[in-house]
Amino acid sequence: MKRGNPKATVLLGGLYYLYEGIVTDAASFLDDAFTEDPKLDRYFDVLALHPYAHYPQQATPEQNDGREQPVGQMVSRIHSLLEYYGARRPIWVTEVGWPVYGTVDEKTQASFITRAAVELMAAGADRICIYTLDDGPNPTAFPPEDAFGLFRNDGTPKPAATALQTMLRIDPSLVLSADQSSAGVRRYVFSSAATPEVDVVYATDGTMHDIELAPGTAVVALDGTATTTTSTTTSISGDPIFLLSR
């Protein structure tokens, strides 16, 4: 491939992180592959990962209960495994998502996908691809393969599409600059050359929390609604908010 196009980016994977009984988990696959060829990294530029929860996906992106693992931890562990084998390669999340099914309604899908994107960026994933763009023709059928879309089958946007648009409109070049998380609360600080600071904040324990912020901070909800607060606190839930300092 490189002989045909030296500038081509070659991906290994995508590897499914968890073992589901029909595919080998990512860590075991990489262990086997590097055992067979310790210089395997000669043949790829990027490791492609699919950090899904168990199917059909109902767990939160941060869930860590023995069966489920946080999506950020999945990326961190694969990074560590690559470094163990001397393969300093970036990780692209080439597929992750939640279907609208069971306990996950459209609003929850929007929250989980946004939280997952933030957790994955914070863990060092270089790129993130959400599965998938559109629902199939049978979104209420099982298995819920037709229910992963950001848009419904008729082309209308779900809340998840609006949420991702909101995040990207703030600044698509943001990178993590600090992790100010505490018990039950994620608070990640992102910045870029154009944007000094954006805090992404949400609760992970199913309860409401009050957090501190500077008066005059713009609070942006997932639906893009923005308000400027004069208070020094605001309440948060499991739905991420974006705090833009003025």
pTM above 0.85, yes or no: yes
pLDDT, one tens digit per residue, over 81-92 is 999 999 999 999
pLDDT, one tens digit per residue, over 10-60 is 999 999 999 888 889 999 999 999 999 999 999 999 999 999 999 999 999
Query: Looking only at Cα atoms, what is the longest distance across the chain?
Result: 61
Distance of alpha carbon 243 from alpha carbon 233, whole angstroms: 12
- Whether residue 146 has pLDDT greater than 90: yes
| Judgement on whether residues 113 and 194 belong to the same structural domain of the protein | no
Structure confidence at residue 219 as a pLDDT band (50, 70, 90) = very high
Do residues 117 and 97 lie in contact, with contact meaning Cβ atoms separated by under 8 Å? no
| Judgement on whether residues 39 and 154 belong to the same structural domain of the protein | yes
Looking at the 3D structure of the chain, how many domains does it have?
A: 2
| Judgement on whether residues 119 and 192 belong to the same structural domain of the protein | no
Instruction: Quote the domain boundaries for residue 221.
Output: 178-244
| Judgement on whether residues 142 and 224 belong to the same structural domain of the protein | no
Distance of alpha carbon 174 from alpha carbon 178, whole angstroms: 12
Strands 91-96 and 127-130: parallel
pLDDT, one tens digit per residue, over 100-140 is 999 999 999 999 999 999 999 999 999 999 999 999 999 99
Instruction: Please identify, among 146, 170, 194, the residue that sits at the C-terminal boundary of a domain.
Output: 170
Does 136 map to a domain?
Answer: yes
| Judgement on whether residues 23 and 107 belong to the same structural domain of the protein | yes
| Judgement on whether residues 212 and 155 belong to the same structural domain of the protein | no
Please name the residues in contact with 121: beta carbons below 8 A apart, sequence gap of 6 or more. 128, 174, 175, 176, 190
Does 1 map to a domain?
Answer: no
Q: What is the pLDDT of residue 1?
A: 86
